[in-house]
Each structure stands twice: as C-alpha cells, then as structure tokens.
Copies of this chain bind each other. A is one copy, B any other.
Amino acid sequence: MIAELAKRAREASRVVARCGAAKRRAAIEEMATQVERHRDTILTANRLDLEAGRELPNAMQDRLRLDEKRVAAIATALREVAALPDPIGETVRSWKRPNGLTVSKQRIPLGVILMIYESRPNVTADAAGLCIKAGNAVILRGGSEAFHSSSAIADALRAALEKTGLPADAVQLVPTTDRAAMEELLTRDEDIDLVIPRGGEGLIRFVAERSRIPVIKHYKGVCHVFVDEAADVRMALDICYNGKVSRPGVCNAVETILVHRGIATTFLPQLSSRLGAAGVELRGDEAARAVVPSMKAATEQDWYEEYLDLICAVRVVDDLDAAIGHIERYGSNHTEAIVTRDENTARRFRDEVGSSTVCVNASTRFADGGELGLGAEIGISTTKIHAYGPMGVEELTTTKFVVMGDGQTRQ
C-alpha cells in the first residue's frame, strides 16, 4: 500500500512538473477556495481531534485547535503562495564554451517530497501549496493528534487539484500514523526525492537514522547575540529584548547573550533591568555575576540549552574570537547576531560565523522565510546540504544542465 502510494506520487509529480505555471497557480488558488468551502467539515473533524486530545498539554491543544479565523488564515496563506513567482524553467545561469556549445543551468522541480510533521494541521495546507508551487508532488505524514483535521484539509486540497485538471495524487496524506508505515516510506528512495521532518528533535533523529532518502534537518535554535565593546548600548538592549521577549517559544529566539568584557559593566545592569522587567530569568557566568550579583549562576549545561522560555544565559567574553569560539562550540548553526558600530568587527563576525543566518545590528527573530522575503517558508535547515537556513519555494527545486549545440561531438 505504501509502495503504491509512493508510485502514484511519482507519476503525479511528472504531470505537475509539466503542466505550466498558470495551471499550478490556478490549482493553489482553488485549494484556498476549497478549504473555505470545506470549512465546516474541517472544523467538525478538528473537534474530533480536540476531544481525543483533552489530555494533551495546553500548548499542544492550542497548536491543534482550528476556528473560523484560523481556517481563513490557511486560505490566505495558500493565496499568497499562489501569487509567488513561478520558479520552474528559469535559466539560472548560462555560458558559452569555446566549441560553440551553450551551457545553462535550468531550474526544475525536485519531484516527490515527503513532509513529516506533528500537531499543526495548517502545515498540511502550507506544505502542499509550497510543494505544488515548485512543481512537485507531496506525501504528507501528519501526527496522530491532528489526523482527522489533516484528513479533512487534504480532502479539500485534492478536490481543488481535480477541479483544476491535475492529479489528486499530487497531494496524498498517508492514511495511517503508525511508525511502520513511515519507516517503509523512508526506504522508497526510487519514488521519493526528499524528506523534510518538522517537529521535536526525537522525531527528526528517528527519521534521519532510518531514511535512505536525503533528509533536510532542523534540529534546534540555540541563537546568540554578541554585544561588542563598540555596540550602541540602546540598540543592543532593543535587539536582546526583541530576541528574547517578543516570542520566547520559537527557534529564532535568543538563548545566550555574549557580552564583550570592555562593555560589561555598562551594559549588564541595563540588560538585567530591561529583561528583568519583562520577567526574564538571567543565568550568568562568574564575570557577569560580578557585575550583576542578583543573576542566577549558569552551569556548563546552560550554554547548550534551547530554553524556549523567558530564561536567558549571559556570558562575558574577552573579545570577538572568544565570542565566535563560544558559538562554534555551543551553537546549533541556526542564527547569531552581533551588535557593533565597528565595521571591521562586523565584517569578521559576518564572514567567520558559519551559522545559517548571521545578523549584523538586527534581531535574530528575522531568521524566517517571510521576514527575509522568501514569500513563505517550509522549514529552516540547520544542515548545509541542499539548503541552509529558511527554505522557500526555490529550495524545493534543483537545476539541470542544458547543453545546446549544432552537432558538436567530443574529441
């Protein structure tokens, strides 16, 4: 059954790849319409999931819950994806060879994408819209808590494909949430080109260890702000505050603030009072606590921590090299920011920090497909192969070589 599902996805992917930009766009617009039309069915299905999930933690129930406004937001997001520029067929680059051949790299779809996710039912529609936009077919494997909701949304999406004259199997929800079916999918490397798991670290490791198909991983975000000696103190306070307080539970929130020794006595008391007023617990190293004795003491474990909460580690460092060294040792390749007015320092931080997003005098919270101008986001990759950082439509494509000649043969 799983093998057949993957095969149908492969076949559907060929139609989506070739149907043309106008048809893909029309299909995604129709998905938005059908989600609106299926609203009551989707909400009824969602109530089943919510009843079954009464024992789940509140935060999880909230992620699971749909209402009229959230269904409308799903449709709006689909329309935004439909309106993005079509990436397929674009000539990325082209050059001439001495023998007269014209060589170019042309953008093409990846083929079939397997999306594995947990409790947010809206991912069903978001992922399908982005994958179709990039000319792919998608296999959706949602979490068991949201199974009824995701099924109802997938029905709406498939109805839209059929109405537009595209194969419904370009969007398939795996009809079971047992792990054996997922494990079998992860061996279908003939028919699936890429796996994107979104969820907790346990899920991602499970997928990465079992998959024969390439996996794009997003483990966690241990993001840093480095407040340089030459920082504008007010700007540094704003960027730290925004990074920690605006939404502490997300992956681009700040977890550790590194403070240059030369500015520590000026900066730390103000940081402590600004973040303290917002209810943030600071955990400092010895040097930080020498300046602000009321801070809790940080342990080695704190430097590795993705708190996802109103807690922030603080460390005093001797210089830029020490800051970069700390990020290399404890960071997660997600997002780091520097605050400095010194152009040399800014340039070195920008060039030497290897994380997927590096911000100079800007908040780490900008590490997001929408904020960076990608139009939408299917995930954030913290591994370097294929895509690194926020992934939009383009990251769901690849390029092929096109060689145009008039009879050339190789000597």
Q: Measuring CB to CB, which residues of chain A are less than 8 angstroms from any residue of chain B?
A: 14, 17-18, 89, 95, 97, 101, 103, 106, 108, 110-111, 189, 193-194, 208-209, 212, 214-215, 232, 235, 238-239, 241-242, 246, 328, 350-352, 354-363, 365-367, 371-373, 383-386, 388-390, 398-410
Q: Is the interface of A mostly helix, strand, loop or mixed?
A: mixed
Q: Which of A352, A399, A410 has the most CB of B within 10 A?
A: A410
Whole-angstrom distance from the CB of A408 to the nearest CB of chain B? 5
* Closest partner residue, chain B, to A372 (CB atom): B103
Contact A403/B360 with A212-B209, A214-B214 known, Cβ cut-off 8 Å: yes
Contact A402 B352 (CB under 8 A): no
Contact A403 B212 (CB under 8 A): no
**Extra inter-chain contacts (16) besides given A106-B351, A246-B409, CB under 8 Å:** A101-B362, A111-B384, A193-B385, A209-B212, A235-B406, A246-B410, A350-B402, A356-B401, A357-B402, A358-B400, A358-B403, A366-B405, A367-B401, A367-B403, A388-B399, A388-B400
Contact A401 B389 (CB under 8 A): yes
CA distance A311 to B359 in the complex (A): 57
CA distance A390 to B367 in the complex (A): 32
Contact A95 B373 (CB under 8 A): yes
Of the candidates B103, B354, B362, which one forms a contact with A405 in the assembled complex, judged by CB atoms under 8 Å apart?
A: B362
Contact A103 B214 (CB under 8 A): no
Whole-angstrom distance from the CB of A180 to the nearest CB of chain B? 18
Taking CB atoms, residues of chain B closer than 8 Å to A351 are 18, 89, 106
Contact A110/B385 with A328-B14, A373-B103, A410-B242 known, Cβ cut-off 8 Å: yes
Whole-angstrom distance from the CB of A6 to the nearest CB of chain B? 16
Complex A-B: 13 CB contacts under 8 Å: A103-B373, A194-B384, A214-B385, A214-B386, A235-B407, A242-B410, A358-B401, A358-B403, A360-B404, A363-B408, A366-B408, A367-B403, A372-B403
Contact A400/B356 with A246-B410, A407-B239 known, Cβ cut-off 8 Å: yes
Taking CB atoms, residues of chain B closer than 8 Å to A365 are 409-410
Query: How many copies of this chain?
Result: 2
Taking CB atoms, residues of chain B closer than 8 Å to A400 are 354-358, 388-389
Whole-angstrom distance from the CB of A139 to the nearest CB of chain B? 16
Q: Which of A18, A103, A328 has the most CB of B within 10 A?
A: A103
Taking CB atoms, residues of chain B closer than 8 Å to A363 are 405, 408-410
* Closest partner residue, chain B, to A386 (CB atom): B386
Taking CB atoms, residues of chain B closer than 8 Å to A383 are 193, 214
Contact A398/B385 with A101-B366, A361-B405, A404-B362 known, Cβ cut-off 8 Å: yes
* Closest partner residue, chain B, to A325 (CB atom): B14
* Closest partner residue, chain B, to A406 (CB atom): B361
Taking CB atoms, residues of chain B closer than 8 Å to A209 are 212
CA distance A312 to B214 in the complex (A): 33
Taking CB atoms, residues of chain B closer than 8 Å to A399 are 388
Contact A388 B384 (CB under 8 A): no
Whole-angstrom distance from the CB of A367 to the nearest CB of chain B? 7
Taking CB atoms, residues of chain B closer than 8 Å to A241 are 409
Of the candidates B212, B238, B371, B388, which one forms a contact with A407 in the assembled complex, judged by CB atoms under 8 Å apart?
A: B238
Contact B371 A410 (CB under 8 A): yes
Taking CB atoms, residues of chain B closer than 8 Å to A408 are 361-363, 366
Of the candidates B350, B366, B385, which one forms a contact with A194 in the assembled complex, judged by CB atoms under 8 Å apart?
A: B385
CA distance A360 to B400 in the complex (A): 13
Taking CB atoms, residues of chain B closer than 8 Å to A371 are 97, 410
Contact A410/B366 with A360-B404, A389-B401 known, Cβ cut-off 8 Å: yes
CA distance A138 to B310 in the complex (A): 41
